[in-house]
Amino acid sequence: MTKTSKKHKYLSMLPLWILFILIGAITAEAATYYVATTGNDAHVCTTAQTITTPKRTIKSGITCLKPGDKLYIRAGTYTEQIDLQGPNKTGTAGYYITIAGYPGEKPTVRYSEGTYGYGVIKARGNRGWLIFDNLILDGGLSGNGTGWQIRDGNHDFILRNLEIKNFRYNGVYVDGANNVQILNCKIHHQVSVDVNRWYGIYYHHGANGVIEGNEIYNNPGGGIHAYPGTISNLIIRGNRIYYNNTMTTSSVGGIIVFRGSTNGVTQTISGVQIYNNVVYKNSIYGGTSGAIRVSSGAAGTKVWNNTVYGNKGWGIQIELNTTTDTVVQNNIVFANTSGQITNAGTRTILNANSTTDPRFVNAAAGDFNLQLSSPAIDKGVILSLVKVDIRKYPRPKRLSQDIGAYEVQ
Protein backbone atom coordinates (compact mmCIF):
# COMPACT_ATOMS: atom_id res chain seq x y z
CA MET A 1 0.00 0.00 0.00
CA THR A 2 1.39 3.43 -0.90
CA LYS A 3 1.78 6.26 1.57
CA THR A 4 -1.04 8.12 -0.22
CA SER A 5 -3.48 5.21 0.02
CA LYS A 6 -2.62 4.70 3.71
CA LYS A 7 -3.32 8.37 4.33
CA HIS A 8 -6.72 8.12 2.63
CA LYS A 9 -7.55 4.98 4.63
CA TYR A 10 -6.85 6.67 7.95
CA LEU A 11 -8.76 9.78 6.97
CA SER A 12 -11.79 7.67 5.95
CA MET A 13 -11.80 6.04 9.39
CA LEU A 14 -11.59 9.31 11.29
CA PRO A 15 -15.37 9.87 11.68
CA LEU A 16 -15.75 6.38 13.16
CA TRP A 17 -13.04 7.08 15.77
CA ILE A 18 -14.74 10.34 16.64
CA LEU A 19 -18.01 8.47 17.07
CA PHE A 20 -16.39 5.95 19.43
CA ILE A 21 -14.90 8.77 21.47
CA LEU A 22 -18.26 10.53 21.74
CA ILE A 23 -20.07 7.33 22.74
CA GLY A 24 -17.43 6.63 25.36
CA ALA A 25 -17.83 10.12 26.77
CA ILE A 26 -21.62 9.77 26.99
CA THR A 27 -21.35 6.37 28.66
CA ALA A 28 -18.84 7.68 31.17
CA GLU A 29 -21.21 10.47 32.20
CA ALA A 30 -23.99 8.05 33.22
CA ALA A 31 -23.86 7.28 36.94
CA THR A 32 -25.49 5.02 39.51
CA TYR A 33 -26.63 6.40 42.85
CA TYR A 34 -28.03 4.67 45.94
CA VAL A 35 -30.58 5.28 48.67
CA ALA A 36 -30.81 3.23 51.88
CA THR A 37 -32.62 3.56 55.20
CA THR A 38 -29.15 3.60 56.81
CA GLY A 39 -27.83 6.26 54.44
CA ASN A 40 -26.91 9.90 54.90
CA ASP A 41 -28.18 12.78 52.77
CA ALA A 42 -24.92 14.60 53.48
CA HIS A 43 -23.21 12.36 50.95
CA VAL A 44 -22.65 14.54 47.90
CA CYS A 45 -23.78 13.67 44.37
CA THR A 46 -20.72 12.30 42.66
CA THR A 47 -20.20 9.76 39.92
CA ALA A 48 -17.80 8.07 42.36
CA GLN A 49 -20.65 7.30 44.78
CA THR A 50 -20.83 3.63 45.70
CA ILE A 51 -23.24 1.32 47.48
CA THR A 52 -21.37 2.09 50.70
CA THR A 53 -22.22 5.81 50.56
CA PRO A 54 -25.98 5.93 49.95
CA LYS A 55 -28.33 8.82 50.44
CA ARG A 56 -30.93 8.51 53.20
CA THR A 57 -34.00 9.78 51.30
CA ILE A 58 -35.33 9.25 47.82
CA LYS A 59 -35.79 13.01 47.53
CA SER A 60 -32.09 13.61 48.05
CA GLY A 61 -31.14 10.80 45.68
CA ILE A 62 -33.29 12.26 42.91
CA THR A 63 -31.38 15.55 43.04
CA CYS A 64 -28.34 13.69 41.67
CA LEU A 65 -30.00 12.33 38.56
CA LYS A 66 -29.27 13.29 34.98
CA PRO A 67 -30.40 11.59 31.75
CA GLY A 68 -28.97 8.08 31.60
CA ASP A 69 -28.49 7.74 35.38
CA LYS A 70 -29.87 5.09 37.75
CA LEU A 71 -31.06 5.43 41.32
CA TYR A 72 -31.12 2.16 43.26
CA ILE A 73 -33.28 2.04 46.39
CA ARG A 74 -32.23 -0.53 48.98
CA ALA A 75 -34.65 -2.70 50.98
CA GLY A 76 -36.96 -1.11 53.53
CA THR A 77 -40.04 1.11 53.71
CA TYR A 78 -39.88 4.74 52.58
CA THR A 79 -42.77 7.02 53.55
CA GLU A 80 -42.15 9.74 51.00
CA GLN A 81 -43.22 10.71 47.51
CA ILE A 82 -41.05 10.03 44.47
CA ASP A 83 -41.15 13.60 43.15
CA LEU A 84 -39.60 14.25 39.74
CA GLN A 85 -41.80 17.24 39.05
CA GLY A 86 -40.49 19.59 41.74
CA PRO A 87 -36.81 19.25 40.73
CA ASN A 88 -37.89 19.01 37.05
CA LYS A 89 -36.17 15.73 36.27
CA THR A 90 -36.63 13.98 32.93
CA GLY A 91 -34.72 11.64 30.70
CA THR A 92 -33.91 12.41 27.10
CA ALA A 93 -34.30 10.40 23.90
CA GLY A 94 -32.37 7.16 24.34
CA TYR A 95 -31.14 8.12 27.82
CA TYR A 96 -33.65 6.94 30.38
CA ILE A 97 -33.55 7.86 34.04
CA THR A 98 -34.12 4.66 36.04
CA ILE A 99 -35.49 4.52 39.58
CA ALA A 100 -35.45 0.93 40.82
CA GLY A 101 -35.25 -1.39 43.75
CA TYR A 102 -31.76 -2.74 44.18
CA PRO A 103 -31.40 -6.16 42.49
CA GLY A 104 -32.54 -8.94 44.82
CA GLU A 105 -34.40 -6.49 47.06
CA LYS A 106 -37.85 -4.95 46.70
CA PRO A 107 -38.31 -1.76 48.74
CA THR A 108 -41.72 -0.37 49.62
CA VAL A 109 -42.60 3.25 48.91
CA ARG A 110 -45.68 4.08 50.97
CA TYR A 111 -47.22 7.48 50.58
CA SER A 112 -50.72 8.87 51.09
CA GLU A 113 -51.52 12.55 50.83
CA GLY A 114 -55.29 12.29 50.83
CA THR A 115 -58.02 12.95 48.30
CA TYR A 116 -57.10 13.61 44.66
CA GLY A 117 -53.43 14.27 45.23
CA TYR A 118 -50.53 13.45 42.96
CA GLY A 119 -50.00 9.96 44.30
CA VAL A 120 -46.86 8.11 45.29
CA ILE A 121 -45.08 9.25 42.10
CA LYS A 122 -45.29 12.92 41.09
CA ALA A 123 -44.07 13.26 37.50
CA ARG A 124 -46.80 14.83 35.39
CA GLY A 125 -46.33 17.06 32.38
CA ASN A 126 -43.97 17.00 29.46
CA ARG A 127 -41.36 14.68 30.91
CA GLY A 128 -40.43 11.21 29.76
CA TRP A 129 -37.83 8.51 29.15
CA LEU A 130 -38.34 7.29 32.71
CA ILE A 131 -38.09 3.70 33.99
CA PHE A 132 -39.60 2.56 37.30
CA ASP A 133 -38.56 -0.99 38.21
CA ASN A 134 -38.75 -3.52 41.06
CA LEU A 135 -40.65 -1.44 43.61
CA ILE A 136 -43.68 -1.91 45.83
CA LEU A 137 -45.89 1.17 45.60
CA ASP A 138 -48.38 1.20 48.46
CA GLY A 139 -51.24 3.62 49.01
CA GLY A 140 -51.05 3.13 52.74
CA LEU A 141 -52.74 0.95 55.28
CA SER A 142 -55.81 3.21 55.29
CA GLY A 143 -56.02 3.35 51.50
CA ASN A 144 -55.82 7.14 51.40
CA GLY A 145 -53.16 7.45 48.72
CA THR A 146 -54.18 8.54 45.25
CA GLY A 147 -53.24 6.11 42.50
CA TRP A 148 -50.50 6.86 39.98
CA GLN A 149 -51.53 9.30 37.25
CA ILE A 150 -49.39 9.31 34.11
CA ARG A 151 -50.77 12.32 32.30
CA ASP A 152 -50.63 15.80 30.82
CA GLY A 153 -47.99 15.10 28.19
CA ASN A 154 -46.00 12.33 29.89
CA HIS A 155 -44.36 10.01 27.37
CA ASP A 156 -41.97 7.08 27.12
CA PHE A 157 -42.60 5.68 30.59
CA ILE A 158 -41.68 2.07 31.41
CA LEU A 159 -43.26 0.52 34.49
CA ARG A 160 -41.96 -2.98 35.13
CA ASN A 161 -41.82 -5.51 37.95
CA LEU A 162 -43.83 -3.23 40.22
CA GLU A 163 -46.45 -4.10 42.82
CA ILE A 164 -49.14 -1.41 42.99
CA LYS A 165 -51.72 -1.78 45.75
CA ASN A 166 -54.01 -0.14 48.30
CA PHE A 167 -54.64 3.06 46.39
CA ARG A 168 -57.73 5.18 46.53
CA TYR A 169 -59.16 5.38 42.98
CA ASN A 170 -57.24 3.60 40.18
CA GLY A 171 -53.95 1.76 40.45
CA VAL A 172 -52.56 3.35 37.26
CA TYR A 173 -54.33 6.10 35.31
CA VAL A 174 -53.04 7.01 31.83
CA ASP A 175 -54.44 10.33 30.59
CA GLY A 176 -52.91 12.06 27.59
CA ALA A 177 -49.68 10.06 27.64
CA ASN A 178 -47.99 8.23 24.76
CA ASN A 179 -45.57 5.31 24.62
CA VAL A 180 -46.39 4.04 28.10
CA GLN A 181 -45.41 0.42 28.84
CA ILE A 182 -46.77 -1.44 31.89
CA LEU A 183 -44.87 -4.72 32.10
CA ASN A 184 -44.85 -7.67 34.50
CA CYS A 185 -46.51 -5.79 37.35
CA LYS A 186 -48.92 -6.89 40.06
CA ILE A 187 -51.79 -4.42 40.35
CA HIS A 188 -54.31 -5.35 43.00
CA HIS A 189 -56.58 -4.44 45.90
CA GLN A 190 -57.23 -0.79 45.12
CA VAL A 191 -59.66 0.68 47.61
CA SER A 192 -63.34 1.39 46.99
CA VAL A 193 -64.01 4.61 48.89
CA ASP A 194 -67.25 5.75 47.21
CA VAL A 195 -69.90 4.63 44.70
CA ASN A 196 -67.60 5.12 41.71
CA ARG A 197 -65.79 2.33 39.91
CA TRP A 198 -62.03 2.18 40.29
CA TYR A 199 -59.83 -0.03 38.18
CA GLY A 200 -56.49 -1.72 38.11
CA ILE A 201 -55.56 0.26 34.99
CA TYR A 202 -57.67 3.10 33.58
CA TYR A 203 -56.33 3.94 30.11
CA HIS A 204 -58.17 7.20 29.39
CA HIS A 205 -56.40 8.31 26.23
CA GLY A 206 -53.04 7.94 24.58
CA ALA A 207 -51.17 6.23 21.75
CA ASN A 208 -48.80 3.28 21.44
CA GLY A 209 -49.39 1.82 24.89
CA VAL A 210 -48.39 -1.70 25.92
CA ILE A 211 -49.96 -3.54 28.88
CA GLU A 212 -48.16 -6.88 29.02
CA GLY A 213 -47.42 -9.72 31.41
CA ASN A 214 -49.25 -8.27 34.41
CA GLU A 215 -51.38 -9.80 37.14
CA ILE A 216 -54.39 -7.56 37.70
CA TYR A 217 -56.75 -8.75 40.41
CA ASN A 218 -59.12 -7.83 43.23
CA ASN A 219 -59.74 -4.28 42.06
CA PRO A 220 -63.18 -2.92 42.96
CA GLY A 221 -64.34 -1.65 39.56
CA GLY A 222 -62.58 -3.79 36.98
CA GLY A 223 -59.27 -4.90 35.51
CA ILE A 224 -58.43 -2.74 32.46
CA HIS A 225 -60.71 0.12 31.40
CA ALA A 226 -59.85 1.68 27.99
CA TYR A 227 -62.23 4.67 27.74
CA PRO A 228 -63.15 7.17 26.30
CA GLY A 229 -60.31 7.87 23.83
CA THR A 230 -58.72 9.04 21.73
CA ILE A 231 -56.84 5.72 21.94
CA SER A 232 -54.75 4.20 19.18
CA ASN A 233 -52.45 1.20 18.91
CA LEU A 234 -52.96 -0.08 22.46
CA ILE A 235 -51.68 -3.63 23.00
CA ILE A 236 -53.07 -5.70 25.89
CA ARG A 237 -51.33 -9.07 25.90
CA GLY A 238 -50.13 -11.85 28.12
CA ASN A 239 -51.93 -10.68 31.28
CA ARG A 240 -53.76 -12.64 33.97
CA ILE A 241 -56.88 -10.67 34.94
CA TYR A 242 -59.07 -12.14 37.66
CA TYR A 243 -61.37 -11.48 40.63
CA ASN A 244 -61.96 -7.87 39.60
CA ASN A 245 -65.26 -5.98 39.95
CA THR A 246 -66.39 -6.37 43.54
CA MET A 247 -69.02 -3.62 43.21
CA THR A 248 -72.63 -4.33 42.25
CA THR A 249 -72.75 -0.95 40.45
CA SER A 250 -69.86 -1.75 38.12
CA SER A 251 -70.28 -2.67 34.44
CA VAL A 252 -66.60 -3.45 33.94
CA GLY A 253 -65.22 -6.89 34.68
CA GLY A 254 -61.98 -7.96 33.04
CA ILE A 255 -61.21 -5.77 29.99
CA ILE A 256 -63.41 -3.11 28.42
CA VAL A 257 -62.73 -1.09 25.25
CA PHE A 258 -65.42 1.60 25.04
CA ARG A 259 -65.46 4.76 22.95
CA GLY A 260 -66.90 7.81 24.65
CA SER A 261 -66.89 11.61 24.52
CA THR A 262 -64.96 14.38 26.20
CA ASN A 263 -66.57 17.79 26.66
CA GLY A 264 -69.25 16.78 24.18
CA VAL A 265 -66.77 15.69 21.49
CA THR A 266 -66.93 12.05 20.43
CA GLN A 267 -63.50 10.43 20.61
CA THR A 268 -62.03 7.53 18.61
CA ILE A 269 -60.62 4.18 19.62
CA SER A 270 -58.81 2.20 16.96
CA GLY A 271 -56.23 -0.52 16.55
CA VAL A 272 -56.52 -2.11 20.01
CA GLN A 273 -55.08 -5.65 20.21
CA ILE A 274 -56.13 -8.00 23.01
CA TYR A 275 -54.38 -11.35 22.92
CA ASN A 276 -52.82 -14.15 24.96
CA ASN A 277 -54.64 -13.03 28.12
CA VAL A 278 -56.24 -15.26 30.74
CA VAL A 279 -59.40 -13.53 31.98
CA TYR A 280 -61.26 -15.47 34.65
CA LYS A 281 -63.61 -15.22 37.63
CA ASN A 282 -64.29 -11.50 37.22
CA SER A 283 -67.45 -9.99 38.70
CA ILE A 284 -68.21 -13.08 40.78
CA TYR A 285 -68.26 -10.99 43.97
CA GLY A 286 -70.01 -7.95 42.52
CA GLY A 287 -71.58 -6.73 39.28
CA THR A 288 -72.58 -8.66 36.22
CA SER A 289 -70.09 -7.51 33.61
CA GLY A 290 -68.08 -10.36 32.18
CA ALA A 291 -64.62 -10.78 30.74
CA ILE A 292 -63.90 -8.87 27.48
CA ARG A 293 -66.25 -6.17 26.26
CA VAL A 294 -65.82 -4.10 23.07
CA SER A 295 -68.46 -1.42 22.58
CA SER A 296 -69.75 1.99 21.52
CA GLY A 297 -67.87 2.61 18.30
CA ALA A 298 -64.45 1.08 18.91
CA ALA A 299 -62.96 0.24 15.50
CA GLY A 300 -60.68 -2.55 14.38
CA THR A 301 -60.22 -4.24 17.76
CA LYS A 302 -58.45 -7.62 17.59
CA VAL A 303 -59.41 -10.24 20.20
CA TRP A 304 -57.10 -13.20 19.66
CA ASN A 305 -56.02 -16.32 21.57
CA ASN A 306 -57.45 -15.41 24.95
CA THR A 307 -58.64 -17.87 27.59
CA VAL A 308 -61.90 -16.59 29.08
CA TYR A 309 -63.30 -18.72 31.87
CA GLY A 310 -65.88 -18.62 34.65
CA ASN A 311 -66.75 -14.93 34.59
CA LYS A 312 -70.09 -13.63 35.83
CA GLY A 313 -71.70 -12.25 32.69
CA TRP A 314 -70.73 -12.79 29.07
CA GLY A 315 -67.36 -14.14 28.06
CA ILE A 316 -66.81 -11.88 25.02
CA GLN A 317 -69.28 -9.12 24.15
CA ILE A 318 -69.17 -7.15 20.90
CA GLU A 319 -71.85 -4.51 21.41
CA LEU A 320 -73.70 -2.01 19.21
CA ASN A 321 -73.65 -1.76 15.42
CA THR A 322 -71.38 1.30 15.67
CA THR A 323 -68.62 -1.04 16.87
CA THR A 324 -66.92 -1.99 13.63
CA ASP A 325 -64.43 -4.45 12.16
CA THR A 326 -63.77 -6.37 15.36
CA VAL A 327 -61.88 -9.65 14.90
CA VAL A 328 -62.54 -12.47 17.39
CA GLN A 329 -60.44 -15.57 16.70
CA ASN A 330 -58.73 -18.44 18.52
CA ASN A 331 -60.34 -17.74 21.90
CA ILE A 332 -61.39 -20.32 24.50
CA VAL A 333 -64.60 -18.95 26.02
CA PHE A 334 -66.11 -21.36 28.50
CA ALA A 335 -68.32 -21.54 31.61
CA ASN A 336 -69.24 -17.83 31.72
CA THR A 337 -72.62 -17.40 33.39
CA SER A 338 -74.57 -15.28 30.84
CA GLY A 339 -73.15 -16.98 27.75
CA GLN A 340 -69.93 -17.31 25.85
CA ILE A 341 -69.80 -14.91 22.85
CA THR A 342 -72.35 -12.34 21.76
CA ASN A 343 -71.96 -10.14 18.68
CA ALA A 344 -73.97 -7.04 17.75
CA GLY A 345 -71.15 -5.24 15.94
CA THR A 346 -70.77 -4.45 12.25
CA ARG A 347 -68.43 -6.44 9.97
CA THR A 348 -67.24 -8.59 12.87
CA ILE A 349 -64.99 -11.52 11.95
CA LEU A 350 -65.83 -14.36 14.32
CA ASN A 351 -64.28 -17.79 13.81
CA ALA A 352 -62.01 -20.53 15.22
CA ASN A 353 -63.22 -19.99 18.80
CA SER A 354 -63.98 -22.80 21.26
CA THR A 355 -66.97 -22.66 23.62
CA THR A 356 -67.00 -26.29 24.78
CA ASP A 357 -64.99 -27.89 27.56
CA PRO A 358 -61.33 -27.29 26.59
CA ARG A 359 -59.99 -29.76 29.18
CA PHE A 360 -57.78 -27.48 31.18
CA VAL A 361 -55.11 -29.06 33.36
CA ASN A 362 -56.63 -27.61 36.55
CA ALA A 363 -58.92 -24.61 36.19
CA ALA A 364 -59.83 -24.66 39.89
CA ALA A 365 -56.17 -23.99 40.72
CA GLY A 366 -55.78 -21.39 37.98
CA ASP A 367 -53.84 -23.68 35.64
CA PHE A 368 -55.26 -23.10 32.15
CA ASN A 369 -52.74 -25.17 30.25
CA LEU A 370 -54.38 -27.68 27.94
CA GLN A 371 -54.38 -31.41 28.50
CA LEU A 372 -53.05 -33.41 25.57
CA SER A 373 -56.61 -34.58 24.90
CA SER A 374 -57.92 -31.00 24.54
CA PRO A 375 -60.13 -30.33 21.49
CA ALA A 376 -58.52 -26.85 21.27
CA ILE A 377 -55.13 -28.20 20.14
CA ASP A 378 -54.28 -27.37 16.50
CA LYS A 379 -57.79 -25.96 15.90
CA GLY A 380 -56.94 -22.27 15.60
CA VAL A 381 -56.06 -20.23 12.56
CA ILE A 382 -52.46 -19.10 12.13
CA LEU A 383 -52.16 -15.43 13.05
CA SER A 384 -49.01 -13.71 11.85
CA LEU A 385 -49.01 -11.21 14.74
CA VAL A 386 -49.39 -13.87 17.45
CA LYS A 387 -46.06 -15.66 17.25
CA VAL A 388 -45.85 -16.76 20.90
CA ASP A 389 -48.21 -17.75 23.70
CA ILE A 390 -48.65 -16.22 27.16
CA ARG A 391 -45.35 -17.80 28.30
CA LYS A 392 -43.49 -16.58 25.19
CA TYR A 393 -43.37 -20.13 23.79
CA PRO A 394 -43.49 -20.15 19.98
CA ARG A 395 -46.71 -20.60 17.98
CA PRO A 396 -47.63 -22.83 16.26
CA LYS A 397 -45.93 -25.85 17.74
CA ARG A 398 -47.44 -28.30 15.28
CA LEU A 399 -49.77 -27.98 12.29
CA SER A 400 -51.72 -24.93 13.43
CA GLN A 401 -52.09 -22.67 16.45
CA ASP A 402 -53.83 -23.97 19.53
CA ILE A 403 -56.91 -22.05 20.64
CA GLY A 404 -56.53 -20.05 23.85
CA ALA A 405 -53.64 -18.37 25.65
CA TYR A 406 -51.47 -21.49 25.95
CA GLU A 407 -49.76 -23.44 23.18
CA VAL A 408 -49.11 -27.06 24.15
CA GLN A 409 -45.38 -27.74 23.91
Model pLDDT for residues 275-287, shown as the tens digit of each residue: 999 999 998 877 7
Predicted pLDDT of residue 344: 96
Please report the DSSP string for 296-337 in residue order: TT-BS-EEES-EEES-SSEEEEE-STTSBS-EEES-EEES-S
Q: Of the candidates 96, 94, 145, 92, which has an alpha carbon nearest to the alpha carbon of residue 122?
A: 145
Q: Rounded distance, CA 181 to CA 158, Å?
A: 5
pLDDT at residue 1, as a whole number = 53
| Cis amide leading into 228 (omega within 30) | yes
Cα separation of 10 and 137, whole Å?
Answer: 55
User: H-helix or E-strand containing 27?
Assistant: helix 3-29
d(CA 343, CA 303) in angstroms, rounded, equals 13
Bridge partners for 258 per DSSP:
295
Considering the entire predicted model, what is its pTM?
0.92
Q: By mean pLDDT, which of 13-17, 96-100, 132-136, 344-348 is the weakest?
A: 13-17
For range 70-85, the mean pLDDT? 97
Residue type, 343: N
Give me the pLDDT at residue 21, please.
Answer: 40
The average pLDDT across 386-397 equals 97
Give the bridge partners for 269, in sequence order: 231
CA angle 385, 290, 312 (to 5 degrees): 135
Report the distance separating Cα 102 and Cα 34, nearest Å: 8
Supply the pLDDT for residue 117: 78
